[in-house]
Amino acid sequence: MAAEIQASEDERIRSETLATKLMKKPELGAIGGVILVTLFFMLTADSTMFTLSGIMNFMTPAAQLGILGIAAAMLMIGGEFDLSIGSMVAFAGMIFGALTVNLGLPLILAIPLTMAFAAAVGAVNGTIVLRTGLPSFIVTLAGLFILRGASLVGLKLFTGGSTQLRGVRDAVEGDWLARFFSGDALQGLFAWLASAGVIDTFSNGTPKVPGVPVEILWFIGFALIATYVLLRTPAGNWIFATGGDSGAAKNSGVPVRRVKISLFMLTACAAALVAVITVIDAGSTDARRGFMKEFEAIITAVIGGCLLTGGYGSAIGAFFGAIIFGMVTIGLTYTDFDQDWFQIFLGGMLLLAVVFNNVIRKRVTGER
């Protein structure tokens, strides 16, 4: 008996190996994926892909998708899905366009009002899921069609029959807030780097890359904040507990209802942020904006280590998952491969990520 007790104590205090610690990191697969994809394009793509200009080219779409993917990851960790996030990009873009063009509101009013509309829709989604007990997959799938249809009808109403609303760039021109949502940041730094010969310049001395697109800064900032919330705050513990076992979490005093509704609101607001950025940048909005982004966001979250069952995942994993998407989307244009291979890549990465995550989870938890 004493020997058994001693063995049990040794088991409890036994230190973990580095490999075991790494396998417990949800973002492990996504980081490995970034390394493999980078090596692939280093061998097959034109060398200009990994110049400063090339990196900015693939980081821009990665940033837009990553904002959606990180929000989707947090919701998946909380045990729910949001398939309406792509349609919300179009719907929020319509609201934002109408507020700036039709009503002539300044950005300091138009952006908060757009976020408020999005948050309200997210709260409705969360409330329906919680009150009816229906799977969020079904509720937000309905929302996908409702919001896309509302975007079509609304744009025709605001434009007099067109499904595209133009004039946003003219409406926000000169607004002091526009530079925080469109264009390039750190232009002074890049001009100095060009003058010092650190980065490439055109023949007239201007830098080939004038700055960092603002969506990349939003992307990085959102990833850092989400990671801090998940790993360093009580709210993060509540999210993991809610997704792991909502019943046990509720019995332990976790405000499960509030957590889930807040996460639905977060995904909707993330979509609204992407809408504002893309609409200001393009100068117009249309009903197809954000098309298929809901699936890409979920795939990004899964590649980043999120389990479909909830309670496990990582914002940093979704960050690297989005970078993989951006690299493949743009990287194929630097190769001789047909760009339609991207669709095959999506399905393959999703399948591999799910299999990999299941293997790692079973290895860590000791399941069979």
Does a structural domain hold residue 121? Answer: yes
- Tens digit of pLDDT for each residue in 305-350? 888 888 888 999 999 999 988 888 888 888 888 777 777 877 777 7
Residue 73, pLDDT above cutoff 90:
yes
How large is the angle between the packed helices 315-331 and 28-44, nearest 10 degrees? 20
Q: Provide the domain limits for residue 76.
A: 28-42+63-361
Take residue 3 and report the two structure tokens written for it: 């020997």
How many other C-beta atoms are found inside a 10 Å radius of the C-beta of residue 284? Answer: 18
What CA–CA distance (Å, rounded) separates 162 from 73? 35
- Tens digit of pLDDT for each residue in 2-22? 455 454 455 455 566 665 666
For the full predicted model, state whether its pTM sits above 0.85: yes
Take residue 35 and report the two structure tokens written for it: 């390394």
Residue 68, pLDDT above cutoff 60:
yes
Does a structural domain hold residue 11? Answer: no
What CA–CA distance (Å, rounded) separates 114 from 272? 7
Task: Please tell me the total count of domains within the chain.
Answer: 1
**% pLDDT > 90, the chain:** 57
The b/e string for 190-216 (b: 16+ C-beta within 10 A; e otherwise) is: bbebbeeeebebeeeeebebbbbbbbb
Does a structural domain hold residue 5? Answer: no
What CA–CA distance (Å, rounded) separates 322 from 307? 17
Q: According to the 3-state scheme, what is the secondary structure of the chain?
A: CHHHHHHHHHHHHCCCCHHHHHHCCCCHHHHHHHHHHHHHHHHHCCHHHHCHHHHHHHHHHHHHHHHHHHHHHHHHHCCCCCCCHHHHHHHHHHHHHHHHHHCCCCHHHHHHHHHHHHHHHHHHHHHHHHHHCCCHHHHHHHHHHHHHHHHHHHHHHHHCCCCEEECHHHHHCCCCCHHHCCCEECHHHHHHHHHCCCCCECCCCCECCCCEEHHHHHHHHHHHHHHHHHHHCHHHHHHHHHHHCHHHHHHCCCCHHHHHHHHHHHHHHHHHHHHHHHHHHHCEEECCCCCCHHHHHHHHHHHCCCCCCCCCCCHHHHHHHHHHHHHHHHHHHHCCCCCCHHHHHHHHHHHHHHHHHHHHHHHHHCCC
Does a structural domain hold residue 297? Answer: yes
Does a structural domain hold residue 9? Answer: no
Does a structural domain hold residue 127? Answer: yes
- Tens digit of pLDDT for each residue in 218-262? 999 999 999 999 999 999 999 999 998 899 999 999 999 999 999
